[in-house]
Amino acid sequence: MPDVADRYGAEIIKVGVLWSQPIDSVDVKKVLNEDSDAALVGISRVETGTGVLQPMDKIGANCQGHDALFLMARVTLLGGVPVEVDERGVEISFSGAQKCYSCPTGLAPLSMSERALGKFGCAKRG
């Protein structure tokens, strides 16, 4: 995610963690409090190499009250771990079917909240 965002000219602030350790949600909150212009918090729900699950509910709660959208990459876990985007406050979520489902690459489920759709200028459907 940082590589793609960098290609589009985004300023990236990384919250560092030790290999095989979950992100401390307090560190995410500190960054949001220090950078009130943050547009997006993007986190992979599962660290592919170690299987560490990130505390998305705590991170999502820390994103509340800030203008930043909360994005969850769920490529590794789709079909293996409950996603629960609404319960965790996730506003953008994407995946791929090649990991848990073992499907050929190319299928990429995406979900976006109404707020996220509005930020991207998409019309409300339904």
Residue 49 has pLDDT above 90, yes or no: no
HSE at residue 100, side-chain half, CA atoms within 13 A, is: 16
Confidence band for 53, pLDDT divided at 50, 70 and 90: confident
Confidence band for 126, pLDDT divided at 50, 70 and 90: low
Residue 109 has pLDDT above 80, yes or no: yes
Q: Phi and psi dihedrals of 72, rounded to 5?
A: -120, 120
Structural domain range at position 15: 2-119
Q: Name the domain count of the chain.
A: 1
Does a structural domain hold residue 57? yes
Residue 123 has pLDDT above 70, yes or no: no
Does a structural domain hold residue 30? yes
Does a structural domain hold residue 126? no
Of all residues in the chain, the percent with pLDDT exceeding 90 is 14
Reported pTM: 0.83
Does a structural domain hold residue 35? yes
Torsion 114-118-122-126 (CA) sign: positive
Q: Alpha-carbon distance 114 to 69, whole Å?
A: 11
Q: Coil, strand, or helix at residue 63?
A: helix
Alpha-carbon torsion, ordered 26, 28, 29, 32, to 10 deg: 160
Identity of residue 26: V
Q: Phi and psi dihedrals of 99, rounded to 5?
A: -90, -90
CATH number, domain with residue 109: 3.40.640.10
Does a structural domain hold residue 12? yes
